[in-house]
């Protein structure tokens, strides 16, 4: 059983969360996590001005996802930074190229899930995940989030991401904050949760 983790990461925060998602997937017997990134749409000189070029190079070993890989997977977990309360442009462009899969109904019945990051605590994490769900529903995905059985999203003892919609992290205004351990635990839980649901559906 294959769980595809498809993401875009500007400064490495979503990449780190994706690694934790993969760890959770691989905890489920018979499940295999496959990490893929979506194509970059910004030219190198723009990435350099953004201070993102070095971070992009550190994840360049992750293969770029193809549309066919979505159809071959049993579940897909998408990761995107928030852009004004919505998915990033790179992810939007990738999804806009899936019309042929929609026409074939190739993704109907697969488990779909989303995780995200934002610069600030209230930077649109929930709206990004919820608006992403619209695309998944049009494709016929069975949507899974991060249930409250993950107790780490409860409590007010520390600033943290995570909601019943999906795992998330807070990056800071200049990307100085990497995912905390509780946020990585949320990502692992979500990965395992999705894999368990996909395994039941496949059976």
Residue 117 in contact with residue 171, Cβ under 8 Å?
Answer: yes
Joined together, the tokens standing for residue 112 give 């779909």
> Has 60 been labeled as part of a binding site?
no
> Has 102 been labeled as part of a binding site?
yes
> Has 7 been labeled as part of a binding site?
no
- Give the C-alpha separation, 57 to 84, whole Å: 25
> Has 84 been labeled as part of a binding site?
yes
> Has 13 been labeled as part of a binding site?
yes
74: DSSP letter:
S
Query: Could you count the other beta carbons within 10 Å of the beta carbon of residue 5?
Result: 28
> Has 138 been labeled as part of a binding site?
yes
Query: Could you count the other beta carbons within 10 Å of the beta carbon of residue 117?
Result: 29
Report angle CA 14, 194, 41 to the nearest 5 degrees: 35
> Has 82 been labeled as part of a binding site?
yes
> Has 59 been labeled as part of a binding site?
no
> Has 143 been labeled as part of a binding site?
no
Residue 45 in contact with residue 89, Cβ under 8 Å?
Answer: no
> Has 133 been labeled as part of a binding site?
no
> Has 10 been labeled as part of a binding site?
yes
* Binding-site entries for FMN: 9-14, 82-84, 138
- Residue ranges for the known binding site for substrate are 102
Q: Write out the binding residues.
A: 9-14, 82-84, 102, 138
Residues flagged as binding site for NAD(+): 11
């Amino acid at each position: 059983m294959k769980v595809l983790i498809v993401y875009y990461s500007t400064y490495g925060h979503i990449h780190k969360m994706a690694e934790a998602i993969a760890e959770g997937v691989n905890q489920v017997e018979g499940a295999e996590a496959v990490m893929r990134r979506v194509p970059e749409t910004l030219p190198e000189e723009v990435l350099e001005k953004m201070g993102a070029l070095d971070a992009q190079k550190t994840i360049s070993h992750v293969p770029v996802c193809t549309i066919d890989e979505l159809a071959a997977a049993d579940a897909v977990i998408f990761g995107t930074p928030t852009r004004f309360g919505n998915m990033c442009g790179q992810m939007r462009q990738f999804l806009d190229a899936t019309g042929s899969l929609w026409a074939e109904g190739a993704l109907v019945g697969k488990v779909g899930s989303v995780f995200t990051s934002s610069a600030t605590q209230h930077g649109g994490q929930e709206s990004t995940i919820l608006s992403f769900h619209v695309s998944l529903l049009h494709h016929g995905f069975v949507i899974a989030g991060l249930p409250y059985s993950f107790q780490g999203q409860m409590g007010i003892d520390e600033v943290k991401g995570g909601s019943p919609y999906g795992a998330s992290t807070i990056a800071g205004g200049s990307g100085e904050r990497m995912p905390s351990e509780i946020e990585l635990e949320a990502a692992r839980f979500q990965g395992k949760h999705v894999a368990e649901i996909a395994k039941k559906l496949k059976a």
